[in-house]
Structure 1
């Protein structure tokens, strides 16, 4: 129904705004182009401490942070991660990732 579509669109719009703020709080980690439509984007991981994105994602998974490496989809997406903006708990997920990125930045 129209109410479901409106609700989902609102969630996506809010999550895109949360991610924009997240990028400002954690500069130097990602090269992101907002999706022109839809709720999925592939974002390049550019931080010098990350040489293998798949391995990095596996390390995050061990901490309970699940991010899909792009090369799971296609080798052309090696170095990227898949982000979905349609989840209601996206903000909490970003908070957990942000804590990890802050700790990693402080260690470097």
Structure 2
């Protein structure tokens, strides 16, 4: 990848990171009910908190994606971006374009997912 390509990837990753951090902040506020305190009535509280498990799951997924983006930014700084962490081979540009924080080539990613089944 050229320096221009790497700078473009960095900018895309930073934009994604900022968007995800903002989303995580909103999710956290919703789960903690910081905008408005919970009602004193137990039934009302149940209604107000019924979506909390879904929001918590979304928050966990968002945090995982944030971590992957930060790792990709670290690999950019180290000069190892675009190389598979498992086999060391280059990750295809098409895969990196679709998933810029990918850390595995498609072969290793597929093998890893098959190993988990």
- TM-score, length of structure 1 as denominator length: 0.34
Larger radius of gyration: 2
TM-score norm. by structure 2 comes to 0.31
Between Structure 1 and Structure 2, the one with more strand by share is: 1
Higher relative contact order (CA 8 A, sep 6+): 1
